[in-house]
Amino acid sequence: MSARRSCLSVPGSSEKMLAKAGSLPADEIVIDLEDSVTAAAKPEARDLVCRLLAEGRLAEGQLLAVRINAIDSPWWRDDVAALADRAGLAVDSLVMPKVERAEDVLQVERALERHGAAMGIQALVETAAGLMRLGEIATASPRLDSLIVGYADLAASLGRADPEAAPERWLYAQDALLVAARAAGIEAIDGPYLALADEPGLRGWAEHVRDLGYDGKWAIHPSQLAVINDTFTPGGDEVERAQAILAALSRAESAGEGGAAQLDGKMIDEASRKQAEKVVARAAR
C-alpha cells in the first residue's frame, strides 16, 4: 500500500476544488459526500463525483477515497450503489463516518459485495460508542484498511468544549485507536486540525501523533499538506540510524554473536530491528 501521510478532504459538491485536488501533494484525496455537502445538494454532489471519477479527472497518482454518508442517514445506500456501479475502478476505498460497531462496517461490506465492487473501507471513529468498540470495529472486515479519529464530532459526543485545546487531552482516544489498528494490522490516521492559520499548532499536533505511532493525518486545506508530509516523512538522520541498526545486527549475526549488538554505546536487539525496519519501509513508501 502507498503511504497515507496526508489525506486531503475535498467537498464533493465543488467541481473546482475536485479538479484541483489531483495536482496537490496529498498522498490521498478524500472526496466528501457527508458533512461538507448540504442535504439538498447530496444527490447532485453524488452525481458530480461519479461522473468525474468515471472520466478519470480527479486524481493523479494519489490514493482516492470517498467519504459516504453515515449508515443512519437516508443517503448511504445510494452513495455505495452509485460509486460501485459508475466509478468503482477509480475508488480505492470508502470512508465510513461515525462508525460505532462492527455491524456498521459489515453493512457497507455487504452492499459492496452485492455490487461486485473491490473497494476497501476506512472507519472514521467520532463517537463515544465507537471509541468503546474499537476492537470489534478494527477486525470487522478484511476490507478495512484504516481507522481514523475524528475530533470535532467526538468532542460533541463526549461533551468537550474545545476539540483542539491540546493534543494530549485526547491521549486516551489516540492510544485506544492506535492499539486497535495495530492489533488488526491496519493503519491509524489522525483527524484534521481545524485552525487553518495556526501552522505551529498543526505541526505540534502532527508531531504528537507521529511520535505516538500514527501513520498520517487528514488535512482540510492544501496549505496544511506541506507540514503534514514533512512531519510524517522520516528524516535523513532517522533513516541513517535505522540502516545502521540493521547493519550492526546483521554483522553480529554473521559473527555468531547472537541477536544483540552494541551501536554507539547502546544495546540493540530484535526489538530495535523491528523498529528500524519500519522506519526504512516508511521512508521507501
Cα angle 77, 6, 44 (rounded to 5 degrees) comes to: 30
Same domain, yes or no: 40 and 106: yes
pLDDT for the residue 265: 73
Please report whether residue 197 resides in a domain: yes
Please report whether residue 136 resides in a domain: yes
Q: What letters, b where the CB count within 10 A reaches 16 and e where it falls short, cover 148-165?
A: bbbbebbbebeeeeebbe
CA–CA separation, 44 and 46 (whole Å): 5
Same domain, yes or no: 216 and 241: no
pLDDT for the residue 262: 76
Q: What residues of the chain score a pLDDT lower than 50?
A: none
Same domain, yes or no: 162 and 252: no
pLDDT for the residue 237: 73
Same domain, yes or no: 226 and 240: no
Same domain, yes or no: 194 and 255: no
Same domain, yes or no: 213 and 110: yes
Same domain, yes or no: 156 and 120: yes
Domain residue limits at 95: 6-231
Tally of structural domains, the chain? 2
pLDDT for the residue 161: 84
Read off the amino acid at residue 98: K
Whole-model pTM: value is: 0.89
Same domain, yes or no: 146 and 244: no
Same domain, yes or no: 154 and 173: yes
**% of the chain with per-residue pLDDT over 90:** 75
Please report whether residue 1 resides in a domain: no
pLDDT for the residue 235: 66
Same domain, yes or no: 84 and 136: yes
Same domain, yes or no: 43 and 87: yes
42-77 pLDDT, tens digit per residue, is: 999 999 999 999 998 887 789 999 999 999 999 999
pLDDT for the residue 40: 97
pLDDT for the residue 101: 98
Please state whether beta strands 266-268 and 187-190 pair in parallel, antiparallel, or not at all (unpaired).
unpaired
Place of cell 459485495: 113
Contacts for 49 with CB less than 8 Å, ≥ 6 apart = 12, 18, 31, 33, 58, 66, 83, 87
Please report whether residue 265 resides in a domain: yes
